[in-house]
Chains A and B, each alone.
Chain A
Amino acid sequence: MSAVSATGVDVTLGGASILSSVDLSVEPGELVALVGPNGAGKSTLLGALTGDIPVAAGTVELFDRPLAQWVGLEAARVRAVQTQRATVAFAFTGEQVVRMGRAPWHGTAEAIRDDDVVAAAMRLTETPGFALRRVTTLSGGESSRIAFSRALAQETAVLLLDEPTAALDLRHQEMELSQMRHRADQGVAVVVVLHDLSLAGAYADRLVLLDGGRVVADAPPRDVLRPELLERVYRQKVSVIPDPVTGDPVVLPVRGDAQRRVVA
């Protein structure tokens, strides 16, 4: 059984083909990172998985049931989504925003745990300090952490996250990824769009490398983070070295004089 799956998905926006015949299947307990250069279709694929972007062809399923057959509230109890922009129209406090993640459970037996879940989700992102702050006064990274807490507080079997770490500092990037890893180890299916290949490689079970709207690789990090593949897709000379502590592959752009060797 796959938690989230896309089969032969095509997406066209304004006449241009953004995704063509994309297949993706994520099992419960898997952490899958979508990577690729700008405009490769990562966010579009995530949008197709959430149902925000209509597919021109192919099917998207949540737990082997087509997305269209899910009622909004029912889907909200199964999958949480973090979108790229985390702006809030009114000056709610951080705690109120995280608590909004509990909305799908309103009126169910789960609701009695709301306070504990919200507090725990905020501790996990080191945001209790923002609990009483107005979210409109938080920095980009800070509101992004609040948005991540909100997704965690939703307590769903599937997490779909679009570049959650884009505005985060080193520590909080690691913190969010280790939290995703932790959730996946507990059986949650996580799909996350990431730009940092080393970060993706260190935590994900599988990397899905997109280029020009197609999947060019879908494999464990070690098989995707190969210089020849990355150089072809990113048009940038890279070296891949083992992490001195963990041995995970670390991707470094080749700099300095070597810059002239950038693949044209």
Chain B
Amino acid sequence: MSAVHLETRPAAFEDPSEALPEPPKAWLPVALVTGLTVALILLTMVSALRGQLHITPTEVLGSILGRLGLDVGMAPSSTYAEAALWTVRFPRVALALVVGASLSVGGVLMQGVFGNPLAEPGVIGVSSGAAVGACAVIVFGFAALGPWTLVVAAFIGGLIATLLAYRTARRGGRTEVVTLVLTGVAINAVCGAIVALLVFLGDTASREEIIFWQLGSLNGARWSEVAIVAPIAIIGTVLALRLARQLDLLSLGERPAGHLGVDVERLRRTAIVLVAVLTSAAVAFGGIISFVGLVVPHLIRMVLGPGHRWLLLVSAVGGAVLLLAADLLARTLVAYAELPIGMLTALVGGPFFFWLIRRTSRGAGGWA
């Protein structure tokens, strides 16, 4: 009996030699942001060059420098080229960037607050909720708030859809994949029916405009639209970044997050309003462009891990790049024709979603 002896209890288990391994890849986020920024600049250049009117790279550069007050004698020879750049191509590039960033940041926030990597504004039905608001404005011709009417109506529709999804799908701080997807199915069905009703009620012109929402397109982008979406995207991203630490803690569950000092109630209120604002702004001027908020954050999470600070920041840039690339494809893939960008993103994002569902339902408990 006396051979068995536990040493003094606490010290017995301590082994100070066992240090934590070095965390790898501290440079990775920086490299990724740099790479994405380079891609963004290149895509912007290519987008400015491609189109029915032929414009050379020097003319593009000269035109930009000219607008900045530096006349270097490289400006486009024709006023048509100048006009094509500044009233058609650049506003469209700018809109693609801010819509892409808004959708992507909205996706990250939604995944964070739902505690599920499959939550996405399009899948959940936030986009179609926003489309209902926007379509109502088109059909009934509301204009009480000027150019903001569309955004505000989309916001109200989007917010209602978000709240509904949140109330229905979330239990105890988590969301089961199946519940989440089914909730999205239900909300999309209801919103689809309302949009169909609006199409039925509308005249020919508004019907055509409604088709635009459902397919998604950045065609005919104007600076006035960019002027509305850009501040929302930038302010939304900055506000989202302020929630990053709390969103990290929320992935432990609602109660554990609360035990670490997070005001969970306030966090989710803020996050839900931000999701609705970002999505609505994007939907109001780009129509339903789904899966951007799913694909981009997921790929970035795979590289950088789930920490929300870098995830939000890099997703904003990544979403901008992805949508710019998609828009470039949409308008150049078929000569003299314009493909709907929402169709393109769904064509790529849909199968990706399939793959994600299969993968997460195989994994432990269904969490990526």
Contacts and interface: CB of A to CB of B under 8 A. Distances in A.
A, B in one complex: yes
A119 B367 contact: no
Contacts of B21: 128, 131-132
Contacts of B367: 87, 89-91, 136
Interface stretch (B30-38, B191-199, B222-230, B249-257): B249-257
Interface residues of A, number: 48
Contacts of B16: 123
B168 to A, nearest CB: 18
Contacts of A179: 10, 13
Given A72-B262, A73-B261, A92-B307, A103 B20 contact: no
B261 A124 contact: no
B9 A178 contact: yes
A96 B261 CA distance: 17
Interface string A118-157: 1100111010100110001100000000000000001000
A170 interface: no
Given A128-B19, A137-B364, A90 B260 contact: no
A83 B260 CA distance: 12
Nearest to A185: B10
What interface size band does chain B fall in? 35 or more
B23 A87 contact: no
A88 B5 contact: no
A137 B367 CA distance: 10
Contact of A92 (B15, B20, B251, B260): B251
B68 interface: no
A217 interface: no
B259 interface: yes
Interface string B99-116: 000000000000000011
Contacts of A174: 9, 13
Contacts of A104: 260-261
A221 interface: no
A77 B367 CA distance: 30
A244 B367 CA distance: 46
B25 to A, nearest CB: 11
B365 A87 contact: yes
A123 B10 contact: no
A128 B20 contact: yes
24 contacts: A52-B255, A73-B261, A76-B261, A80-B259, A81-B255, A81-B256, A83-B259, A88-B251, A89-B252, A91-B301, A92-B251, A92-B306, A93-B23, A93-B305, A96-B305, A100-B249, A119-B19, A122-B20, A128-B19, A132-B23, A154-B260, A174-B13, A245-B4, A245-B6
